[in-house]
Each structure stands twice: as structure tokens, then as C-alpha cells.
């Protein structure tokens, strides 16, 4: 995809990461235009020249009408429902959106001669397991849903996109990103809420390593993916990692010290108090899940991130 005037579709526009990315795109490429869609309200989005927003249901008919009315050059698919709940009804809804919905979008991109698609997955597809390699490459098996069915939709979407990517690589350039923990003040994801909660779980007998990326750096990677990354799957993380206790200290969260054997019971108590810590996150409080970034650095360079890991944590520090 060249630098010429382009029209970009962003799916999941109500999210903070999508909004940061849209602003970056237009600041870097003012001749481009962006259409952002979401099932949620987008009224709160600040009007910026070059950005149009639309609230709509993610149905085949709506997307067909959308692609018929616009000739998109690129699509950023950032619209995923959080995988924090393992409720069966919510899981079915997530499977419909994440797997079936993504399949429809990819099919429409192919039929509409879209040149570039960027899909946001997550490093959670690997799972936090005791036998993980020190750094997981993109070829590592996706084991997350073996123990946690609430991650089934995330793993299935990732696998489906990977199959589509290589099957149609001659007709459509597809990039799939598996970022580490994205944190920041403009996104309300699980990890940002966990770190900034005074009730954060703090194991006393385990101290696993974590990787974090600032929301701005993640938006930069999304933007650069449109021009600088060839077809493929890429882990997204910096070169640094940090122990959980040190990360909580930097953020300013004393948390709840506890032995890991009590994790399940304590988490159930927190849920009764409307403090939702996803069950799968408990594994990450015990086992490290670090991802290798060599493939990404081949194309974006060694210094593609603006914020170091400690500065990233300091920027969401509890007040």
C-alpha cells in the first residue's frame, strides 16, 4: 500500500486504542480519510477533520452495505469483545462477533479488493503455562483455551485469520498482531484496570515477569503496520520485561498479598464485590508468558517504541 490518498476503515472505533490510532493516522497522513464503526456509541468521539464515525450492528448486511458504499484501501480490525467473562451466553456472543464476524469482514475485504488488513489478536492465545519457553515466537502453539474455555473465541479467531492470511496472500496483504499487555489511561482493558486497582491480587509466593506496551506505542505499531509490515503474524512487545511486584510498586498499588493456593477462592470473593479479575489472569500471576519480538524489529527497527516499560507503568500510576 502506497503513501497516496487512502481511505481506512477502523472497526471498534469506540475504543480508546482505535481513537488514538485514528488521530495518529491523520497526523502522519493528512491526505488520508478514516471511517470508524462500532456497535457502541461513537458520539463521544471528538470530531476531527478526516474522521467519520458510524454506530451500527456488526451484521453481514450492514458490512456489505458499508463496503458497497466505500472503496476502502485498508481495514484495521480492532473490534473484539473482552474475554473477561466465561458466561456461556457471553461466550456465544463473542464467538459470533470474533470468529464469524471476522470471517465475514475478511471475505468482504477480499471481494472488495482491499489492499491491506490489520487484525488485532493478543499474546493471551499462547497461555501462561509452566512449560512455556523463555520467549515465545509466533510459531509457538496456541494453548490458552485448553484450560480456559473463555479464551476459545480469541484462539479460534487467531487461527482462522492465520489460515486466511496464507491462503489469500497473493490477493490481499494481511497482518495479525499479538501484542503483550497494552496499558494506558485512555483504554479500559483488563490489565489497565487490574494494575490501577487497590484490590489487585499480589501473590507472595510467585513473582512472574510481565511485558507492557504503552497505548501510544501500540497505536504507532498499528499505524506502521499499514505500510511497513508485510503479510504475517507478529508478536508486539519491547525488549524489556519486569516482575509483577515491581510493576505494582511502580504503579503504586499495594494490592492484596496472598499465597497462590488461595487465588481461586479469593477471586470468587472479589467477584461478589463486583471486582472482576478474569480467571485466566490467575495463571499469569503464577507463570511468565513472555513473547519474542524479533520478527517485528526486522521491519520496524530496534527503537520502534517511545516509552520504556517503567515509564509506561509510571504514566498510569495511582493518584
pLDDT of residue 100: 64
**Residue 246, domain member (yes or no):** no
In the prediction, which pLDDT does 319 show? 46
Give 45's contacts (C-beta < 8 A, 6+ positions apart): 13, 14, 19, 36, 51, 53
CATH number at residue 92: 3.40.50.720
For the chain, the average pLDDT equals 88
Compute φ and ψ for 84, nearest 5 degrees: -80, -20
Q: What is the pLDDT of residue 244?
A: 95
Q: Residues 124, 144: contact at Cβ < 8 Å?
A: yes
* pLDDT(98) > 80: no
pLDDT one-digit tens code per residue, 287-308? 999 999 999 999 999 999 999 9
312 domain-assigned: no
The domain in which residue 131 lies consists of: 7-183+212-238+291-304
Position 64 in a domain? yes
Express each pLDDT in 247-282 by its tens digit. 999 999 888 888 888 877 777 766 665 666 788 888
pTM given for the model: 0.92
Q: Does residue 222 lie within any of the structural domains? A: yes
- Per the structure, how many domains does the chain have? 1
Find the Cα–Cα–Cα–Cα dihedral 97, 103, 108, 114, rounded to 10°: 100
Per-residue confidence band for 148, with pLDDT thresholds at 50, 70 and 90 = confident
Cα(242)–Cα(225) distance, rounded to whole angstroms?
26
> Shortest CA distance to 80 belongs to which of 12, 23, 10?
12
> Who's near 46: CB < 8 A, 6+ residues apart?
none
Amino acid at each position: 500500500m502506497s503513501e497516496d490518498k487512502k481511505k481506512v476503515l477502523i472497526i471498534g472505533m469506540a475504543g480508546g486504542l482505535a481513537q488514538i490510532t485514528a488521530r495518529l493516522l491523520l497526523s502522519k497522513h493528512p491526505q488520508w480519510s478514516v471511517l470508524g464503526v462500532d456497535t457502541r456509541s461513537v458520539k463521544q468521539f471528538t470530531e476531527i477533520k478526516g474522521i467519520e464515525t458510524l454506530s451500527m450492528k456488526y451484521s453481514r448486511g450492514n458490512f456489505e452495505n458499508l463496503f458497497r458504499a466505500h472503496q476502502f484501501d485498508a481495514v484495521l480490525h480492532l473490534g473484539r469483545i473482552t474475554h473477561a467473562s466465561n458466561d456461556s451466553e457471553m461466550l456465544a456472543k463473542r464467538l459470533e462477533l470474533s470468529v464469524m464476524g471476522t470471517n465475514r469482514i475478511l471475505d468482504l475485504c477480499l471481494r472488495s479488493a482491499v489492499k491491506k488488513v490489520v487484525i488485532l489478536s493478543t499474546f493471551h492465545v499462547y497461555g501462561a503455562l509452566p512449560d512455556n519457553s523463555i520467549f515465545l515466537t509466533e510459531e509457538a502453539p496456541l494453548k490458552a483455551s485448553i484450560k480456559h474455555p473463555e479464551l476459545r473465541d480469541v484462539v479460534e479467531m487467531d487461527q482462522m485469520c492465520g489460515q486466511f492470511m496464507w491462503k489469500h496472500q497473493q490477493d490481499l496483504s494481511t497482518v495479525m498482531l499479538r501484542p503483550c499487555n497494552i496499558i494506558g489511561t485512555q483504554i479500559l482493558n483488563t490489565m489497565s484496570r487490574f494494575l490501577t486497582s487497590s484490590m489487585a491480587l499480589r501473590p507472595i509466593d510467585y513473582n512472574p515477569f510481565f511485558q507492557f506496551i504503552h497505548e501510544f506505542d501500540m497505536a504507532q505499531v498499528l499505524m506502521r503496520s499499514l505500510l511497513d509490515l508485510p503479510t504475517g503474524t507478529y508478536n508486539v512487545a519491547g525488549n524489556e520485561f519486569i516482575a509483577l511486584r515491581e510493576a505494582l510498586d511502580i504503579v503504586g498499588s499495594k494490592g492484596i498479598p496472598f499465597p497462590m493456593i488461595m487465588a481461586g477462592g479469593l477471586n470468587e470473593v472479589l467477584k461478589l464485590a463486583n471486582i472482576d479479575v478474569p480467571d485466566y489472569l490467575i495463571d499469569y500471576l503464577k507463570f511468565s508468558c513472555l513473547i519474542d519480538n524479533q520478527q517485528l524489529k526486522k521491519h520496524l527497527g530496534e527503537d520502534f517504541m517511545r516509552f520504556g516499560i517503567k515509564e509506561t507503568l509510571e504514566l498510569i500510576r495511582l493518584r
